[in-house]
Amino acid sequence: MKEKILEKSNELFLNLGFKSVTMDEIANALGVSKKTIYKYFSNKTALIAAVTDNMFETICCSIDTVCEEKMNPIDELYHIKRIIMSHLKDEKSSPFYQLQKYYPKIYASLTQKQFHVMQETVQDNLQRGIDSGLFRTEIDIEFISRIYFSGMIGIKDQQLFPVIKYSMNTLLNNYLEYHIRGISTEKGVQELEQQLKNNNL
């Protein structure tokens, strides 16, 4: 039952937002009483913490699977982007903006975990890009990996990128192109152009 609660809550939170969804709505969607949910989660905050942890672990496992393939680093970035989109369903309700605003402790904890995981993944990607001649040899891997993470957090800022104007898919595509063009060799740019062409087919 706990897994069913997490799964349904995750779906509702992503579609409607962390603040917007009530415990009553979750219970109704599951066809159970609120008492059943409270048997596993003491309150809504505890449920949100569990849902975001579960989502984080699921996405990390999917990303690890992609990274294990050691594919072309530019292909890898686009594969990871597709994984994120498939899990976050384009964030039409801007759930993470609500998370940041109404549950800042959970948001801060999640962001810290994301940073530690992404640092390692992005630095490995950058090094393999340099080794394969796709990325310039003189780039500062430590600096670029931090800038990349900062940008990924930044494009979720609703004040800067309102959801009515920018979909998450558009933001991720634009940011990836911006990131890759900034660090690529001529060979890397050609690979990027091919990737962009494939994405538009």
Model confidence over 126-135: pLDDT tens digits? Answer: 999 999 999 9
Model confidence over 8-42: pLDDT tens digits? Answer: 999 999 888 899 899 999 999 999 999 999 999 99
Structural domains of the chain, ranges and CATH numbers in brackets: 49-200 (1.10.357.10)
Q: For residue 193, what pLDDT is reported? A: 96
Q: For residue 199, what pLDDT is reported? A: 76
What is the 3-class SS of the chain, one letter each residue?
Answer: CHHHHHHHHHHHHHHHCCCCCCHHHHHHHHCCCHHHHHHHCCCHHHHHHHHHHHHHHHHHHHHHHHHHCCCCHHHHHHHHHHHHHHHHHHHCCCHHHHHHHHCHHHHHHHHHHHHHHHHHHHHHHHHHHHHCCCECCCCCHHHHHHHHHHHHHHCCCCCCCCCCCCCHHHHHHHHHHHHHHHHECHHHHHHHHHHHHHHHC
Q: For residue 1, what pLDDT is reported? A: 92
Which pTM value belongs to this model?
0.87
| Average pLDDT value over all residues in the chain | 91
